[in-house]
Amino acid sequence: MSTDNITHTHSAHVSHHFKDATQEYDSGKQGIWLFMVTEILMFGAVLVGYGIFHHLYPAMFSEGAKQLDWKLGFINTLVLIFSSFTMAISIQLIQRNQIKKAAMALAVTILCGAIFMVIKYFEWTHKFHMGFYPGRFLDMAKTHAEHANLGMYFGFYYCMTGLHGLHVLIGMGLITWLLIRTIRGDFHSQYWIPVEGVGIFWHIVDLIWIFLFPLLYLVG
Amino acid sequence: MGHSSSAHGENYINCEKGLWSWLTTVDHKRIGLMYMITVMFFFFVGGVMALLLRLELFAPNTVQGVGQVLKNGDVYNQVLTYHGAIMVFMVIVPGIPAILGNFFLPIHLGAKDVAFPKINLASWYCFMFGAALAIATFFTHKIDTGWTFYTPYSIRTGTSTVLMVLGAFVMGMSSVLTGLNFIVTVHKLRAPGMTMHRMPLFVWALYSTAILQMLATPVLAITLLLLAAEKLFGVGIFDPALGGDPVLFQHFFWFYSHPAVYIMILPAMGVVSELIAAFSRKVIFGYTAIAYSSLGIAAVSFFVWGHHMFVSGQSATAGIIFSFITMLVGVPTAIKMFNWVATIYKGSVSFDSPMLFALGFLFLFAIGGVTGIMLAVLPIDVHFHDTYFVVAHFHYVMVGGTLMALMGGFYYWFPKMFGKMFSETLARLSFVFIFIGFNVTFFPQFILGAMGMPRRYFDYIPNYEALNKISTVGSWLILTGFLIGLYAIVQGIRKGEKAPMNPWGAKTLEWQTSSPPPHFNFDVEPVVTAGPYEYR
């Protein structure tokens, strides 16, 4: 992202403690990236746990993955990748002062997030219905589980997708906030830091899903 | 570079009035003071718990009722848990960064505020919310797991572990936000001429701390969430019945909590660097070495967590590797110690109260550090593990190190924060009581540990009685010291003489603005032309 077209005067958008818009922009961007580091580390720790237990019980994880519908996961992957695209487009459009189109792109992004969550909701309720509860609550008789500890796979499944889903919901909330501000006219070719910040967050959330999808649905 | 104080005597304290102006402030100085009040409150609560524990251990409960202060062992375990959890999560971890760091980091850099002032305020509310969740457990089912929440006990016990770990999670969030703010402020908001190598060593220490806060806390966060999920939904990751591994919890926990030990001590080292340079009137010896050894400690700290688990059943190879890497921490730490001593050497040393605390730090931290190296040695640790030797060791580091530095830093910067002077006599008196009381309390615990007295026990055999009595008397001396200190602070704020701009004759930027500083720290943005310790 080029910073050339940012004004260097102390415009109304620049907070009191920054010298100019460039300093504000650089600080904001560094801040959001640092926050993303913490997000990745947080998910990273679950992935480490996943790695350890997958190493110990590969067959059990494979049995768990077979219970999931990879087609639904694949649709969700496509939906999120598309939403990343519309998110990126919205920043481009704001930089070109095409505010209405940018608002449209943001709205589509929120819609994609909603589609993802609805599909996720049906997946979860279906699993509950079949008796695939997490951990020790897994219904061994109803599910005909081969491995006595299949519940652990679903423990990981619900923790990972749950935490990710929570991030999608937070992202949708943030993008709604962006949408309101965009319609209000807060963003234009001179100022778009929050849009880019939330955008980076949204891309990272998508990226985490790109890891979760093969690990949970396609493994084994 | 000198600036006149604001012409009409306006400063950050009196520029706005009313409680609401404080609760909604985004001024880093006011947020620092808000943290100060909350941390002092929690320190009081955690301190009362400690006194209760010591009172219980004053005598063994050999004859029923005699020597027994707390109702039973369960109550003892609860008091122990709250003492640990409050002191770690609500006092020592936020202590120096959130109070002194918030107040002085931007001023040290010549900035108007931290990079994200609103997030800074949000971090205080996060802290308060997390603390409220943790305190709420006190009124539901008091927890008794110890501050480490080890599985499987923490999952099976009927107490409010979930609420407690959610509290710790939210407080961790606050810690992450503070760290993030500090890193960006250091990188982006330095005044003209303030190069990285002209930053005060306190800022270097906070910077290293912030990196640890950012990198370690998320792992604690997810660990605590998984623990909550384990307890609520039985997910099985830490549950042996499902093939899960309770020791994995220990690995995850210490992957955060060992770096957290350095989150607690690095800022203290930064404060001590400032104090020693200012009161030796000398260019600090080995500026670069001290600055980079902070980063060195931060880096090594991520690879030593296994030394908390020498008896947990991890492999012998892992134990040996962790043992060696742990000893490596001694190197950057010793670099700092020697540089401080070399700074004092042939300096014009004055023994004002902040310097007394700094010297106290050097003495106590040396003991805490060296006993740490002893504990890093595998065969010794197997003997000392879970004895009072370990308790004495980490109190020498956390209290003898961090709290001494916090007190010293607090007296040092008091004139700047409040624009008043405190009673030097009272401050010195408080130092004498705290320093002597600390050693009387904790030195006997080294001997008790070597004799084999296990930690976390409600009672003990009569052989340990004499040393325990000495230890408990020491805790009363510490109490006296802190009460005198509190009196000195309150008296200073209410009746102290007006502080000059630079009472100690120090060279860092905060002493070149008025006491207390104006709302935006400097009337004119400073331009830096020299390093922070140009005494000669």
Per-residue pLDDT of B68-110, as tens digits, reads 888 888 999 999 999 999 999 999 999 999 999 999 999 999 9
CA distance B513 to B510: 6
Of A155, A164, A159, A113, nearest in space to A132 by CA: A155
Retrieve residue B502's tokens: 């630079």
Of B215, B225, B234, which is closest to A136 when you measure between CB atoms?
B234
Instruction: Report DSSP state, residue A144.
Output: T
User: Is A53 near chain B, with CB under 8 Å?
Assistant: yes
Nearest-5° Cα angle at B449, B298 to B251: 40
Q: How much is the average pLDDT of B263-281?
A: 96
Question: CB burial class (10 A; 0-12, 13-18, 19+) of residue B18?
Answer: exposed
Nearest-5° Cα angle at B216, B213 to B217: 70
Question: CB burial class (10 A; 0-12, 13-18, 19+) of residue A144?
Answer: exposed
Instruction: Report DSSP state, residue B158.
Output: S
Residues paired with residue B498 on neighbouring β-strands, in sequence order: B420
How would CATH label the architecture of A20-217?
Up-down Bundle (1.20)
> What DSSP element (H or E) covers B402?
none
Judge contact between B433 and B476, C-beta under 8 A. no
Best of A14, A16, A34 to substitute, by most chain B Cβ atoms within 10 angstroms, is A34
Secondary structure of residue B197 in the 3-state scheme: helix
CATH code, domain carrying B129: 1.20.210.10
pLDDT at B339 over 50: yes
Nearest-5° Cα angle at A17, A15 to A19: 85
Residues paired with residue A188 on neighbouring β-strands, in sequence order: A191
Residue B307 contacts by C-beta under 8 Å, 6 or more apart in sequence? B258, B322, B323, B326, B375, B376, B381
In a domain, B524, yes or no: no
Of A27, A133, A136, which is closest to B184 when you measure between CB atoms?
A27
- pLDDT tier for residue B8 given thresholds of 50, 70 and 90: low
CA distance A32 to B177: 11
Q: What is the pTM of this model?
A: 0.93
End-to-end Cα separation, chain A, in angstroms: 40
CA distance B24 to B423: 32
> In chain A, what residues touch B114 (CB-CB under 8 Å)?
17
- pLDDT tier for residue B346 given thresholds of 50, 70 and 90: very high
Determine the distance in angstroms separating the CA of B181 from the nearest CA of chain A, rounded to an integer.
7
Of A15, A27, A42, which is closest to B218 when you measure between CB atoms?
A42
- pLDDT tier for residue B308 given thresholds of 50, 70 and 90: very high
* Number of Cα atoms under 13 Å in the Cβ half of residue A139: 10
> In chain A, what residues touch B176 (CB-CB under 8 Å)?
35, 38
Give the number of other Cβ atoms within 10 Å of residue B383's Cβ.
Answer: 12
Residue B503: cis peptide before it, omega within 30 degrees of 0: no
Best of A20, A23, A27 to substitute, by most chain B Cβ atoms within 10 angstroms, is A27
Contact B188 A135 (CB under 8 A): no
Please count the structural domains in chain B.
Answer: 1
CA distance B355 to A51: 51
Judge contact between B31 and B113, C-beta under 8 A. no
Residue B23 contacts by C-beta under 8 Å, 6 or more apart in sequence? none
Q: What is the SS3 string spanning B433-493?
A: HHHHHHHHHHHHHHHHHHHCCECCCCCCCHHHHHHHHHHHHHHHHHHHHHHHHHHHHHHHH
Nearest residue of chain A to residue B242 (CA atoms): A149
- pLDDT tier for residue A16 given thresholds of 50, 70 and 90: confident
Chain B residue set in contact with A, beta carbons under 8 Å: 111-117, 119, 176, 180-181, 183-184, 187-189, 214-215, 217-219, 221-223, 225-226, 229-230, 233-237, 239, 241-245, 248, 252, 255, 520
| Residues shown for chain B | 536
Judge contact between A175 and A78, C-beta under 8 A. no
Of B119, B226, B245, which is closest to A159 when you measure between CB atoms?
B226
> In chain B, what residues touch A27 (CB-CB under 8 Å)?
115-116, 184, 187-189
Secondary structure of residue B192 in the 3-state scheme: coil
Judge contact between A127 and A67, C-beta under 8 A. yes
pLDDT at B142 over 60: yes
Retrieve residue B254's tokens: 């210490």
> In chain A, what residues touch B181 (CB-CB under 8 Å)?
31
Q: How much is the average pLDDT of B212-238?
A: 92
CA distance A53 to B237: 8
CA distance B435 to B163: 37
Contact B243 A158 (CB under 8 A): no
| A142-150 contacts, C-beta under 8 A, 24 or more apart | A143/A67, A145/A63, A146/A63, A147/A57, A147/A59, A147/A60, A147/A63, A149/A57, A149/A60, A149/B236, A149/B242, A149/B243, A150/A60, A150/A63, A150/A64
In a domain, B11, yes or no: no
B148: left (phi over 0), alpha (psi -120 to 50) or beta: alpha
Please give the backbone phi and psi of residue B498, each rounded to the nearest 5 degrees, phi first: -65, 135
Of A173, A178, A209, A213, nearest in space to A192 by CA: A178
Q: How much is the average pLDDT of B404-412?
A: 96
End-to-end Cα separation, chain B, in angstroms: 17
User: Is A26 near chain B, with CB under 8 Å?
Assistant: yes
User: Is A194 near chain B, with CB under 8 Å?
Assistant: no
Give B460-505 pLDDT, tens digit per residue. 998 999 999 999 999 999 999 999 999 999 999 999 999 999 999 9
Contact B242 A53 (CB under 8 A): no
pLDDT at A11 over 70: no
- pLDDT tier for residue A4 given thresholds of 50, 70 and 90: very low
Q: How much is the average pLDDT of A208-215?
A: 96
Of B219, B236, B239, which is closest to A45 when you measure between CB atoms?
B219
Of B181, B183, B233, which is closest to A134 when you measure between CB atoms?
B233
**pLDDT score at B2:** 39
Secondary structure of residue A191 in the 3-state scheme: strand
CA distance B263 to B96: 10
Give the number of other Cβ atoms within 10 Å of residue A200's Cβ.
Answer: 17
pLDDT at A204 over 60: yes
Residue B21 contacts by C-beta under 8 Å, 6 or more apart in sequence? none
- The residues in A 102-121 lying below 8 A from B, measured between CB atoms, are none
Determine the distance in angstroms separating the CA of A185 from the nearest CA of chain B, rounded to an integer.
22
pLDDT at A117 over 90: yes
Contact B234 A57 (CB under 8 A): no
- The residue range of the domain holding B137 is 18-512
Retrieve residue B103's tokens: 């107040």
pLDDT at B374 over 80: yes
Q: What is the dihedral of CA B212, B213, B215, B217, to 10 degrees?
A: 130
CA distance B11 to B509: 17
> In chain B, what residues touch A42 (CB-CB under 8 Å)?
218-219, 221-222
- pLDDT tier for residue B7 given thresholds of 50, 70 and 90: low
- pLDDT tier for residue B111 given thresholds of 50, 70 and 90: very high
pLDDT at A10 over 60: no
> In chain A, what residues touch B233 (CB-CB under 8 Å)?
133-135, 137, 155, 158
Retrieve residue B79's tokens: 């008091």
Contact B243 A53 (CB under 8 A): yes
Instruction: Report DSSP state, residue B308.
Output: G
Average pLDDT, chain A: 91
Judge contact between B107 and B509, C-beta under 8 A. yes
User: Is A55 near chain B, with CB under 8 Å?
Assistant: no
Of B113, B236, B520, which is closest to A155 when you measure between CB atoms?
B236
